[in-house]
Chains A and B, each alone.
Chain A
């Protein structure tokens, strides 16, 4: 340990995010961080996996979002956040530079199938355990996911759910609020009791992280 200026492990952003210098955040312009979120070492966030399938509603304003994260989230060492992707069948409008004439875009509406990513949305107070891979579509508030889990593509995890260590949540699974999920494939193995609700708050955890 003979580095000259003692640089801390974490860089703190204006909104209070504590981001490890040893994390890999790819495609930062496509990632929204709500603030006060901790990103530990070796965490990978794939903001580069952008949606290629044209969305009908939200178009043309600002940067496209691949990963949206709320406040007071905690991403433990070595976890990975990837926007989910799937083959899409139907008419496809191949994305062309906006300068190309519109008749050409019509020409390129072709039936077939293609692969597209979709945004990954994570609300507030979400804890992701070490080594866990997340490809969910949506993770609600106050969700705790254990170590070494795989959260399958397009899974939806609602508020106050807990995923036990080593769980494989199958793709498309919907986990209702107050569920405890475990196993491979994951299934609901219990309910979060009334008294456990307060334990999901991560403000204290956030404060405990420092350089």
Chain B
């Protein structure tokens, strides 16, 4: 069996307000008897939905205004800075809007294995040549240092070692130039100027280029098709409403303009938004008729080449679904894959969804890792750590739990607040799930002392470990043996308290029918239960309801000036936790 590290997850209380859990069926062992009223409050860490609300304490924030834990589901992210994770250059948000969310410098990932690609000179200049040869050293390729893929394999080389993004956008796989957006527009303009719809061959134009492009049945690549279609529809829109109420004239303002919006609204509302004139003209809108307008006719034999290639080159030549996911177009073969420009990353601040106060705000600069605001739950609610009561030999891995053998664990609550807190903990008598282990908390109520200043802590730092060790031995000595007493705290430190919880691990063997509880029996009937142990069902997970109460200064933030408020205020925080204590062996 693999090793097991005890863990504690906290449930964000925001899940309470969500609608009740739907009965998902036999897959969730306990949701079935969720209808029975006595159990409805107990939290089941194995319910399929529980995964979405449980977090390690480190992942939670805390809102000082709502006095509540905040998880990734109940905060709002706001982008502070965009940057490339490879070259670490900041990208202004205006550029993100115009150029998209990828790095437009020379940062690429391998289309085969996603490792970063590096630019390297294809050929070293012949020896003994002058400096100018050395500095150029082209042509260049993108190389993967992890899997040895090279852009040479898809027939792509570069003249310069920088500005790869721009260079790549002009080359198709195989090395042919891509018709750029500008060329397309020029082509379209030429078209509309000197030709009526219909096949035209412009003999005296720029020959081989225009001839190819003017084929109305031309097979377009995705980008050309999109650009043609877009141009076509924009032209149609412009014709349909030459000048709308706001004076925009279609064209580049096309879809986003208020005019377009009113037109669309008009479609839905029966024309109250658009005037009659444009309404009458709407009938003249037509669809694309040829490749130039973005029409793509799928020929019955269009996939013959693909099939032939598949037959000739086989499975190895096809791309995996993971590889395809990273590509912007459909890439059935490895030879279709293109280097992946790095997706930009962001620095984000976080707000409380309820009160909109900022909970976390990083410095905007990419190179700094400081936070302006950082309200983490770690600094507000007691952490819980778990260890077996029976002292382990140092570095010995935790042995699996023995079924039916009472095992004691120490739960240590550490208080980060500068006020002492009262803690109440409660568990169900048995863990939820098919294999119910019995749980007893020996001391469900206790007080944890206040945390002290970081400075103070730093000063007494050296002796801290020793101090803790001393208390432990004292506790052991006074008890005479490792015997936990009900209602008593096991150990206590300045801002921490350890209590004992006893677990009687369930047997993983199916219980005989007459011993089964009502719920288990019902479950077995409904789901056609098998008795095999499912994944992680052998882990003992204890749901614990924690309630923390303390008195806090209310006027603290105002600095005590002017009218002081009542002074002290009672605070309470309650939440579910899950303790993963061990695996039943």
Q: Confirm or deny: B129 has a beta carbon within 8 angstroms of a beta carbon on chain A.
A: yes
Q: Mark A184-211, 1 if CB is under 8 A from B, else 0.
A: 0101100001111111000000011000
Nearest CB of B to A204, in Å: 9
Nearest CB of B to A53, in Å: 15
Q: Confirm or deny: B520 has a beta carbon within 8 angstroms of a beta carbon on chain A.
A: no
- How far, in angstroms, from A26 to B567 measured CA to CA in the complex? 63
Nearest CB of A to B383, in Å: 10
Q: Confirm or deny: A129 has a beta carbon within 8 angstroms of a beta carbon on chain B.
A: no
A174 touches B86 (CB 8 A): yes
Complex partner residue of A173 from B60, B83, B116, B134, CB under 8 angstroms? B116
**A172-B118, A207-B465 are contacts. A195–B146 as well, Cβ < 8 Å?**
no
- How far, in angstroms, from A173 to B60 measured CA to CA in the complex? 30
- How far, in angstroms, from A91 to B133 measured CA to CA in the complex? 11
Interface size of B by Cβ–Cβ distance < 8 Å?
A: 41
B465 touches A208 (CB 8 A): yes
Complex partner residue of A194 from B61, B124, B131, B137, CB under 8 angstroms? B61
**A171-B146, A174-B88, A195-B377 are contacts. A89–B137 as well, Cβ < 8 Å?**
yes
For B59, what are the chain A residues with a Cβ–Cβ distance below 8 Å?
193, 195-196
- How far, in angstroms, from A197 to B377 measured CA to CA in the complex? 13
Q: Which stretch of A2-10, A97-105, A175-183 is in the interface?
A: A175-183
Q: Which stretch of B260-268, B368-376, B437-445, B569-577 is in the interface?
A: B368-376
For B121, what are the chain A residues with a Cβ–Cβ distance below 8 Å?
89
Q: Mark B340-357, 1 if CB is under 8 A from A, else 0.
A: 000001000010000000
Complex partner residue of B145 from A113, A171, A199, CB under 8 angstroms? A171
Q: Confirm or deny: B127 has a beta carbon within 8 angstroms of a beta carbon on chain A.
A: yes
For A195, what are the chain B residues with a Cβ–Cβ distance below 8 Å?
57-61, 376-378
For B115, what are the chain A residues with a Cβ–Cβ distance below 8 Å?
170, 173, 185
- How far, in angstroms, from A170 to B115 measured CA to CA in the complex? 6
**A91-B134, A111-B134 are contacts. A174–B116 as well, Cβ < 8 Å?**
yes
A177 touches B369 (CB 8 A): yes
A196 touches B58 (CB 8 A): yes
A179 touches B465 (CB 8 A): no
- How far, in angstroms, from A90 to B58 measured CA to CA in the complex? 50
- How far, in angstroms, from A171 to B117 measured CA to CA in the complex? 9
Q: Confirm or deny: B533 has a beta carbon within 8 angstroms of a beta carbon on chain A.
A: no
**A111-B134, A196-B58 are contacts. A185–B376 as well, Cβ < 8 Å?**
no
Q: Confirm or deny: A160 has a beta carbon within 8 angstroms of a beta carbon on chain B.
A: yes
For B462, what are the chain A residues with a Cβ–Cβ distance below 8 Å?
207
Q: Confirm or deny: B528 has a beta carbon within 8 angstroms of a beta carbon on chain A.
A: no
Q: Confirm or deny: B114 has a beta carbon within 8 angstroms of a beta carbon on chain A.
A: yes
Q: Residue of A at shortest CB range from B87?
A: A174
Interface size of A by Cβ–Cβ distance < 8 Å?
A: 35
Q: Confirm or deny: B360 has a beta carbon within 8 angstroms of a beta carbon on chain A.
A: yes
Q: Confirm or deny: B402 has a beta carbon within 8 angstroms of a beta carbon on chain A.
A: no
For B247, what are the chain A residues with a Cβ–Cβ distance below 8 Å?
none
For A168, what are the chain B residues with a Cβ–Cβ distance below 8 Å?
146
Q: Confirm or deny: A152 has a beta carbon within 8 angstroms of a beta carbon on chain B.
A: yes
For B147, what are the chain A residues with a Cβ–Cβ distance below 8 Å?
185
A193 touches B58 (CB 8 A): yes
**A194-B371, A195-B58 are contacts. A170–B134 as well, Cβ < 8 Å?**
no
Nearest CB of A to B64, in Å: 14
A170 touches B146 (CB 8 A): yes
**A172-B145, A173-B115 are contacts. A112–B61 as well, Cβ < 8 Å?**
no
Interface residues of B in 416-433 (CB under 8 A from A): none
A176 touches B146 (CB 8 A): no
Q: Confirm or deny: A124 has a beta carbon within 8 angstroms of a beta carbon on chain B.
A: no
For B83, what are the chain A residues with a Cβ–Cβ distance below 8 Å?
176
Nearest CB of B to A27, in Å: 26
Q: Confirm or deny: A42 has a beta carbon within 8 angstroms of a beta carbon on chain B.
A: no
Q: Confirm or deny: B79 has a beta carbon within 8 angstroms of a beta carbon on chain A.
A: no
Q: Confirm or deny: A159 has a beta carbon within 8 angstroms of a beta carbon on chain B.
A: yes
For A170, what are the chain B residues with a Cβ–Cβ distance below 8 Å?
113, 115-116, 144-146
- How far, in angstroms, from A113 to B376 measured CA to CA in the complex? 53
B129 touches A111 (CB 8 A): yes
Interface residues of B in 359-398 (CB under 8 A from A): 360, 366, 369, 371, 374, 376-378
- How far, in angstroms, from A194 to B366 measured CA to CA in the complex? 16
- How far, in angstroms, from A164 to B369 measured CA to CA in the complex? 20
Nearest CB of B to A195, in Å: 4
A194 touches B127 (CB 8 A): no
Q: Mark B489-523, 1 if CB is under 8 A from A, else 0.
A: 00000000000000000000000000000000000
A-B contacts, 8 of them at CB < 8 A, read A91-B131, A91-B134, A111-B128, A152-B146, A176-B345, A177-B369, A185-B115, A185-B146
Question: With contacts A170-B146, A171-B146, A207-B462 known, what are 16 further pairs, Cβ within 8 A?
Answer: A91-B131, A153-B145, A159-B369, A174-B86, A176-B83, A178-B369, A185-B146, A185-B147, A188-B85, A188-B345, A193-B58, A193-B59, A194-B61, A194-B350, A194-B374, A195-B60
- In the complex, the 3 A-B pairs of residues with the closest C-beta atoms, listed nearest first: A170-B115, A195-B58, A195-B376
Chain A interface (Cβ < 8 Å from any Cβ of B): 89-91, 111-113, 142, 152-153, 158-160, 168, 170-179, 185, 187-188, 193-199, 207-208
